[in-house]
Structure 1
């Protein structure tokens, strides 16, 4: 990617002889004051974060969604405002949200030359600020991208006693699981937990009687051989993927597994159907409600 194929400071590009003022006006659009993007290009969450950092000219630290984006977190809203922490003047253009805060040096790092909060501090901020389900999904994705663990978030939390949102954060840390591969998988897992079912294991590996790999399921319970799979659109529209799914489920069922499939419509509009099917499958495989209470108690 060329230097002018992502957000850049216009004054720097002209001073470096990369573009003339006329070319800047003709071939690029202004994203923020003195920050430009080539016409025809679109900003994702990472690009918006970089644009905000250029606007701040090094005076600030990318936080929240913007830090998460530069750490490689997927599924972020590309139209959400960029977030940056500064200690001085707070006025900002539309599309940038300035937070007045001083971030400890130990909680900052660099990504591609931009100052951002560490993954643990980023999760600490997001977990205190976002609604529970959104926070869990974003932090799940952040953990998947960076290898962050809940214990690292707890370490940051202990260093900031009394901060607003700590009770919410504690609940969210308890629910985080970096094994989720998409927000719908996170939301499906939360649905099951909220219903009092035992916590599923994410990215559960299924093996045959000889120990050979058979499949990896989105989430499930090995003791009862029940799996829950979230199927995105490609699982229904791609014939090749559809055939693989049919064969895969047939193999799992031949090994005594029950597979409950979930899609967006069921998750959004008929979650009770998902819960009914999971309960029926678990009971049929030998699970009892008393076992569910026992498993839940181990996480309290």
Structure 2
């Protein structure tokens, strides 16, 4: 009945719950905001609870808004980000005061969140450049937002902090990245001086109609670089598929370098350099 967040004081006044029920059947998410005990506190649930805590006046922002827009790889344990003027925020919430124009936020399933463009504007200005790029990549992978729109929004807010970083992040933003590690690997290659790799390269298979997609690489020399997470080794079905895929890509003339978590940065760059040299001969 009450798996969705609700304001306790409102429920009491309306007679939907009684005081003893509020204490025994429901758990507090934020002050005066409750859910039924046992409810999984996903980022979506906590976001709605945060908005209710703000008396329905705040706007969900930042990485929380990105998750609501469909971005993956957003840590559920991180505080909910909310634009609302209140310095006495409870634990699990990060509030900040920001000037939002009416076209910079909208409705999402009954709560207010920043638009995709405004969300990208905020994520691109977070503390660390690489984190900003990874956040933009994740949001772009879900929404395919246009960097030009974000730059136009930045012109409205010329006095905002870290605008220069936002521009740098958007310069290397790529919605083809399908994990933070792929973002990291792409940035490593770019910073090493290699031509910017294309992401999600389609390769027509032998059957003539289906395709493989390569994480990133250079089509002109049929060289790809892919990041393999642990699931590539621990999942036997995936492992078998990867073997067949590797054999077929080799038959099609592709050289694929596979990078794993334990690889050293210097070794990755050495392998890429050697592979590129061999392809240029």
* Corresponding residue to 1:199 among 175, 178, 196: 196
Corresponding residue of 2:32: 34
Q: Secondary structure at the residue paired with 2:262?
A: helix
Q: Does 1:72 align with 2:70?
A: yes
Relative to 1, partners in 2 of residues 1:265 and 1:16: Cα closer, same or farther, differing over 3 Å? farther
Corresponding residue of 2:92: 95
* Corresponding residue to 2:175 among 172, 175, 178: 178
Aligned partners of 1:17, 1:179: CA distance in 2, in Å? 51
Superposition RMSD in Å = 2.0
Preserved CA contact (<8 Å) 2:66 2:139: yes
Give the deviation of 1:187 after TM superposition.
Answer: 1.0
Q: What residue ranges of structure 2 are gaps of 5+ in the alignment?
A: none
Preserved CA contact (<8 Å) 1:205 1:213: no
Aligned partners of 1:18, 1:272: CA distance in 2, in Å? 63
Give matches, 1:1-300, under 5 Å. Answer: 4-15=2-13, 18-86=16-84, 88-207=85-204, 212-266=209-263, 270-286=264-280
Q: TM-score scaled to structure 2, two decimals?
A: 0.93
- The total of aligned residue pairs comes to 281
Relative to 1, partners in 2 of residues 1:6 and 1:182: Cα closer, same or farther, differing over 3 Å? farther
Q: TM-score scaled to structure 1, two decimals?
A: 0.87
Q: Secondary structure at the residue paired with 1:223?
A: helix
What do residues 240-270 of structure 1 show as CA deviations (whole Å, max 9, x unaligned)?
A: 110000000100011111111112222xxx1
Corresponding residue of 1:297: none
Aligned partners of 2:3, 2:256: CA distance in 1, in Å? 45
Give the deviation of 1:126 after TM superposition.
Answer: 1.5
